[in-house]
Amino acid sequence: MKTQNGQIFPKISTGIAGLDEITYGGFPEGRPILICGSAGCGKTMFGIQFLVKGILDHDEPGVLMSFEESRSDLAKNVKSLGFDLEQLVKEDKLRIDHVKIERSEIEETGEYDLDGLFIRLNHAIDSIGAKRVVLDTIESLFGGVENLGLLRSEIRRLFRWLKDKGVTTIITGERGKNTLTRQGLEEYISDCVILVDFRVIDQIATRRLRIVKYRGSTHGTNEYPFLIDENGISVIPVTSLKLDYKSSEKIVSLGIEALDNLFSKKGVYKGSSILISGTAGTSKTILASYFAIESCKRKEKVLYFSFEESIDQLVRNMKTIGIDMEPFIEDGSLIIQASRPSLQGLEMHLLVLHKLLKELKPDTVIIDPISSLICVGNTSEVRAMLVRLIDVLKMNEINAILTSLTTENGNHTKDETIEVVSSLADTWINLENSQLDGRRKRSLNIIKSRGMGHYNNPMEFEITEDGIVFQEQ
């Protein structure tokens, strides 16, 4: 792989969804990588996934040298993630060597070295032609021997040896108090260091990782949330690294002719993100549904995230104004995902979305309302997530409708969701209810629409049994 400055720098896939993007191509081939973090944050998982995916996707055999868990324990632990270690061992693709050191049965006298470990590792590597190695957690050795000075120099020698051997090695290390690892392994591994972290914020647990160091390569520097679920680990890049998505010249209809006519191009660009903001009861969902149905009519796939209404309720309510969603739900072109936003952490939401995008390949995504995600995390997290979300949608050229509930009587520009989304959205439609002469008036105002002219005054409309009806100007 070529890096940006044109240097040849071979990298190999990490096997972890999303991590290759952050590292611009993967781990440095043939070098040691340190993954450190406190207990239970998924270090071992990283290692195992690196090996298993290496075997399955790249046909690169791997060796796992475990200093803590036995082979059967490891196999059991990752079975729930769909990794069958025993089978891979049978196929001679994987070697698991459990190094068990019983301090109580060992006495030390005189000089020694760790050649035994080297020989075991060498034997395991050579016997299956391994390209990937995981040492989990080598720091356990520090509890096993007395001569720490020697151990340090031997570990240094081991890392050098692994480098000479040309295998890409993940070394896991326990997080220390003031250091990345308890035993300062980061001093010996300078090529690539990744810090993983497990935090509980507002009762929602989030796992994060950060690339502390990646010598000779550019890398994403943010903290990236990651998930461990039934498919293993996936990392979500916070922001796409470049703004290089394509923009379409195609125009799509919003589903209401009168509304389309307010735009100089008679609709919005395909793949654009549309923000619909407004206080409660300003018909945001209705507008979004129009767009969804219109998309379905174009024989496109629509993914509708409903964070406030259940599917039944949404369908029923839309029916009262003449929007029939049922046929589209039945033929599979309209897929509604209804869930409470607080059910999952933000990352989980994003991941669910990612997965559904991959599985269903929708042409249109509706998130109704995006503002309810605010209650899940703090502002900066939500902001990061929304940016990620919109980036993903744009990269895939998906039409997106994001509705946002603004606070009653509030100045909508001060609203936090609006603040974040409005700059990312290509088109922004604000809906308002106002009282005039004892009558409530609904109005729609296009605040912006990138790349085209639009009507600048508020448009009044009514909701009737036949749907939205715009007032003649």
Partner 1 sequence: MTKEETWELRLYIAGQTPKSVLALSNITNYCNEYLSGKYSIEVIDLLKSPQLAEGDQIFAIPTLVRKFPQPLRKIIGDLSNKEKVLVGLNIRVLKSGKD
For binding to partner 1 (CB under 8 A), which residues are involved? 97, 99-102, 105-117, 119-120, 122-123, 141, 144-145
Is there a contact between 154 and 183 (Cβ–Cβ < 8 Å)?
no
Cβ proximity to partner 1, 104 vs 409, nearer residue: 104
Cβ proximity to partner 1, 67 vs 307, nearer residue: 67
Q: Minimum CB separation from partner 1 for residue 118, in Å?
A: 8
Q: Minimum CB separation from partner 1 for residue 104, in Å?
A: 9
CA gap 365, 380 in Å, rounded: 23
Q: Minimum CB separation from partner 1 for residue 46, in Å?
A: 24
CA gap 277, 431 in Å, rounded: 6
Q: Minimum CB separation from partner 1 for residue 239, in Å?
A: 45
Cβ proximity to partner 1, 91 vs 146, nearer residue: 146
Q: Minimum CB separation from partner 1 for residue 147, in Å?
A: 9
> Helix or strand or coil: residue 44?
helix
Q: Minimum CB separation from partner 1 for residue 138, in Å?
A: 11
Is there a contact between 321 and 466 (Cβ–Cβ < 8 Å)?
yes
CA gap 472, 221 in Å, rounded: 53
Which tokens sit at 358?
Answer: 């991959």
Alpha carbon distances (Å) from 118 to 99, 103, 159:
12, 20, 10
Q: Which has the closest alpha carbon to 236: 13, 21, 15, 14?
A: 21
Cβ proximity to partner 1, 102 vs 164, nearer residue: 102
Exposed/middle/buried for residue 109 (C-beta within 10 Å: 0-12, 13-18, 19+): exposed
Cβ proximity to partner 1, 57 vs 115, nearer residue: 115
Q: Which has the closest alpha carbon to 89: 103, 105, 73, 71?
A: 71
Q: Pairing relation of β-strands 439-449 and 459-464?
A: antiparallel
- How many other CB atoms are found less than 10 A from the CB of residue 113? 12
Cβ proximity to partner 1, 121 vs 370, nearer residue: 121
CA gap 358, 269 in Å, rounded: 22
Cβ proximity to partner 1, 65 vs 335, nearer residue: 65
> Helix or strand or coil: residue 204?
strand
Instruction: Note the Cα 190 to chain centre separation in Å.
Output: 27
- The maximal CA–CA distance of the chain, rounded, in angstroms, is 98
Cβ proximity to partner 1, 117 vs 398, nearer residue: 117
Q: Minimum CB separation from partner 1 for residue 134, in Å?
A: 17
Residue positions counted in the chain: 473
CA gap 269, 273 in Å, rounded: 9
Cβ proximity to partner 1, 101 vs 205, nearer residue: 101
Q: Minimum CB separation from partner 1 for residue 135, in Å?
A: 12
Q: Minimum CB separation from partner 1 for residue 100, in Å?
A: 5
Q: Pairing relation of β-strands 94-98 and 62-66?
A: parallel
Cβ proximity to partner 1, 121 vs 323, nearer residue: 121
Q: Minimum CB separation from partner 1 for residue 102, in Å?
A: 8
Element (H, E) at 207: strand 204-214
User: Cα angle at 64 between 62 and 68, to 5 degrees?
Assistant: 170
Q: Which has the closest alpha carbon to 31: 212, 179, 187, 161?
A: 161
Q: Minimum CB separation from partner 1 for residue 3, in Å?
A: 38
Q: Minimum CB separation from partner 1 for residue 200, in Å?
A: 37
Q: Which residues pair with 226 in a beta bridge?
A: 207, 235
**Residue written as token pair 């502390």:** 212
Is there a contact between 199 and 41 (Cβ–Cβ < 8 Å)?
no
Detail the DSSP E strand segments found in 279-423.
302-306, 334-338, 364-368, 399-405
Cβ proximity to partner 1, 71 vs 175, nearer residue: 71
Cβ proximity to partner 1, 100 vs 340, nearer residue: 100
